[in-house]
Structure 1
Amino acid sequence: MGMEDFDLRELRYFLAVSDELNFSRAAERLGISQPPLSRAVRRMERRLGGPLFLRERNALRLTAAGSTLRDEALKVLEVASAAAHRTRRAAEGAERLTVTAAPGLGIQLLRRIIETYAALPDACEADIAVSGCGSQDDAVRSGRADLAVLSTPYADAGLEIRPLWSEERVAALPAGHRLARRGLLRCRDLAGEAFPVWPGVSGQARRYWTGLDTAADVDGGGRPGPSVYDMSQLIEVIALGQAVALLPRHMAERNPRVDVAYVPVADADPFSAVLAWPQGPAEPAVELFVETAADLFEAPQTADARPSA
C-alpha cells in the first residue's frame, strides 16, 4: 500500500484531523460536515489495514501508523505544492529565478552572487525575496523560491547545500558580568545563565542558540530569559543585565556597545550560511546560479572576507 492509494484531498482531510485531534473542529476547518470526514478517514484505515487514531472517550490520539502517515503526508503535499508553484511560473513564460534570504548577511551574500550572475550571457532575471528568519528552507521546498541562503541552525532534508560562509560565535554579556573580562569562554561557563527566548523557534534552534548542541556536559543549560523578536531588542536585554546570548561574530561587530561585552566561545558550533536548492535534477538557470556561487565561494568564507554592507 503506497501513497498513490490516497488522493490529495484525503491526505488533507487526515492532516486536519491529526492537527485538531477532533473530527468536529477538523470538519469546521475544512468547511465540510463531519460525517463525510469521518467516512473518509475510515476508508483510509480500511485500505491501510489498521487504525490511524485511537478513539478514546472525548479524545483522539494518533497511532504509530497515524504518526507515520502524518510525516509522509506532509512530504507529499509539500511536493505537490512545489510542483504547482513551479508549473504556474513556467506557464507565465519568461524564465526568472526567485532567491530568498533573511535580512542582513544572507541578503548581502545573495546580492554578491547576483551581481556576478547577472553579467553572464545565459543568466535570466533573478529576484530577491526578503524573508523572515527561519522560513527560507520552507520557501524552497514549497516552490515559492528556487534558491535560498540558509543560516544555522537549518533543516536540509530534501535540499542540496553549498557552503558559503562560516565564522565563530561569541558570548554577548552585560559589561559588568563576571565573565565579561575573560579572554575565552566555553559553553559550560554559561550554564545557568538566562538566555533570551525567541518565540516559535524549534528545539534544535534553542539548543544551538544556548550552546547545548555541542556541550553535552552542560547540565540543564541556560534558563529562559525575556522574549525577544529582533536584534535591537536582544542587545537591549543583554545591556540591561537580563540575559546573555551566543551570537555570530558579524552581529557582534555590527552592534558595538560600551554596556555589552563580546567574548569568544571556544566550543560553540560556528555560525554558517549556505546556498540551498531542491534535490534532484536542477533547471539550467538554477545550475548556473549555483556554479556562480561556487566560483565566488570556492571555500566557505569567513569574517575576514566579509562582503561590504
Structure 2
Amino acid sequence: MDLDLRKLRYFVAVAEELHFGRAADRLHIAQPVLSRQIRALEDELGAQLFVRTKRSTEPTPAGRQLLDDARPLLAAADATRRRVTRAARGAKTFTIGFMPGLTVTDAVQAFRASHPGIEVELLRTTWDDQIDVLHDGRADVSIVRLPIDQAGLTVRPLFEEPRVAMLPAAHRLAGKPALDITDLADEHLLQDPDAVPEWRDIAVELRTRTARPVPVMRSVEEKLEHVAAGRGVAIIPLSVAAFYRRPDVVAIPVDNLGPNTVCLAWVATRRSRLLHEFAALATTADWTQRRTR
C-alpha cells in the first residue's frame, strides 16, 4: 500500500490544528470530506490516528509518530515538484538562502563570475525556516546560524561571531560596557532558552528561570520591538545588532557567552555540481564584509 500524499496533508492539518473544523477551513474543503479522508487513511494504515471527543481532538501515539514522519516526507515531495518544474522550464537558477545580518556579496559575486549563465537568486530566511527552505526545495543552499536540526543535511562551518545582549535603552544594565551572563539570569529571555544554553543553565541553577511564554516572533524587527517595549531581553549575533541598530535598544557584550556559528548547509542527498562549487567559494569567501560595528 502506497501512502497517499493528499491524505497525509489532510492528516497534518488536523494534527496541527487539533480541530477538524479549523483544519477543513485551512484546507478549503468541507469538514465531512476531511473526516472521511482521515478515516480512509486510518483504514489504510490499520491504526487509529486521533482520539476525538466533543471537546478535543488529540493524536494517538500512532498519530504522533505519523506526524513526525509526514512532515519531512511532504517537504521532500514539495522539493521534488519544484525541482522537476524548474527542470522542465529549462530554468538555470541557483537559490541561496541567508539569515539576517549576513552579507553574502563576496561569495555570490564569485559564483556569478564563474557561472555567467546561471541566474542566482537570494532568499532571506528566519530562525523558523532557515532549514525548511532546503527540505522543501525553495533554496539550493542556505547560510544558516546554529543551532539547527542537521538531520539529512550536509553542514560546513564558515565562521563564528560574538553574540550580544539586546536591552531597552532605559534598562538598569544599559550603561555597562560589558555583562556577565549571571547579570541576565532573572531577565525574561525573548527566545527559546535552548538557543542560549549559557543563560538557561544559569537561570536553572539560580532558580530564576521564568515560566512566562515567549511571544511568537518571525523577524528580528519583531523581537527588537518587544525588547524596546521592556518585555524582555534577547541574545543575538553582533552583525544582526549592527544591522538593526536603533536608538531605543542597546547592544552590550557578554563576557562568558559563546559565539554564534555560521554554516553553509544543503540537503545531503543532492549531488549537484553547482552545490559543491558554491560551497568551495563560500568557505574561502571574505566574510569580513558583514557589518559588525
TM-score by length of 1: 0.76
Look up the match of 1:126: 120
Look up the match of 1:200: none
1:217 maps to which of 178, 190, 205: 205
Look up the match of 2:135: 141
* C-alpha contact (below 8 Å) 2:126/2:219 kept by paired residues: no
Look up the match of 1:22: 19
2:274 maps to which of 285, 299, 303: 285
Distance in 2 of aligned mates of 1:47 and 1:130: 40
Residues 35-84 of structure 1 deviation map (CA, whole Å, 9 limit, x = unaligned)? 44333323332343331111334432110101111111111111100000
Distance in 2 of aligned mates of 1:113 and 1:97: 13
Deviates more, 1:283-292 or 1:14-23: 14-23
One-letter identity of the residue aligned with 2:83 = R
Gap regions ≥5 residues in structure 2: none
1:294 maps to which of 265, 283, 291: 283
Report how many aligned residue pairs link the two structures: 290
User: What aligned pairs does 1:88-107 form with structure 2 within 5 A after superposition?
Assistant: 88-105=85-102
Look up the match of 2:195: 208
Equivalent residue of 2:148, what SS? coil
1:276 maps to which of 265, 278, 284: 265
User: What aligned pairs does 1:244-255 form with structure 2 within 5 A after superposition?
Assistant: 244-253=233-242
User: What aligned pairs does 1:1-309 form with structure 2 within 5 A after superposition?
Assistant: 5-105=2-102, 108=103, 110-120=104-114, 124-132=118-126, 134-173=128-167, 178-180=172-174, 184-195=178-189, 197=190, 204=192, 206-208=193-195, 211-213=198-200, 215=202, 216-221=204-209, 243-253=232-242, 262-296=251-285, 305-307=288-290
Gap regions ≥5 residues in structure 1: 198-202
Q: Provide the aligned C-alpha RMSD in A.
A: 3.6
Distance in 1 of aligned mates of 2:218 and 2:165: 19
Equivalent residue of 1:267, what SS? coil
* C-alpha contact (below 8 Å) 2:94/2:119 kept by paired residues: yes
Distance in 1 of aligned mates of 2:74 and 2:228: 45
Distance in 2 of aligned mates of 1:37 and 1:257: 48
Percent identity reads: 35
Shift of 1:142: 0.9
Distance in 1 of aligned mates of 2:283 and 2:173: 40
Deviates more, 1:250-259 or 1:240-249: 250-259
Equivalent residue of 1:79, what SS? helix
Equivalent residue of 1:72, what SS? helix
In structure 2, relative to structure 1, the CA distance for the partners of 1:241 and 1:23 (3 Å cut) is closer
Deviates more, 1:12-21 or 1:230-239: 230-239
Equivalent residue of 1:221, what SS? coil
* C-alpha contact (below 8 Å) 1:214/1:268 kept by paired residues: no
Equivalent residue of 1:282, what SS? coil
Residues 15-52 of structure 1 deviation map (CA, whole Å, 9 limit, x = unaligned)? 23223333344344434444443333233323433311
Deviates more, 1:219-228 or 1:163-172: 219-228
Distance in 1 of aligned mates of 2:223 and 2:9: 39
Distance in 1 of aligned mates of 2:250 and 2:122: 34
TM-score by length of 2: 0.79
Equivalent residue of 1:80, what SS? helix
Shift of 1:166: 0.9
Shift of 1:248: 2.1
One-letter identity of the residue aligned with 2:279 = V
Equivalent residue of 1:5, what SS? coil
Equivalent residue of 2:114, what SS? coil
Equivalent residue of 2:110, what SS? helix
In structure 2, relative to structure 1, the CA distance for the partners of 1:16 and 1:189 (3 Å cut) is same
In structure 2, relative to structure 1, the CA distance for the partners of 1:254 and 1:35 (3 Å cut) is closer
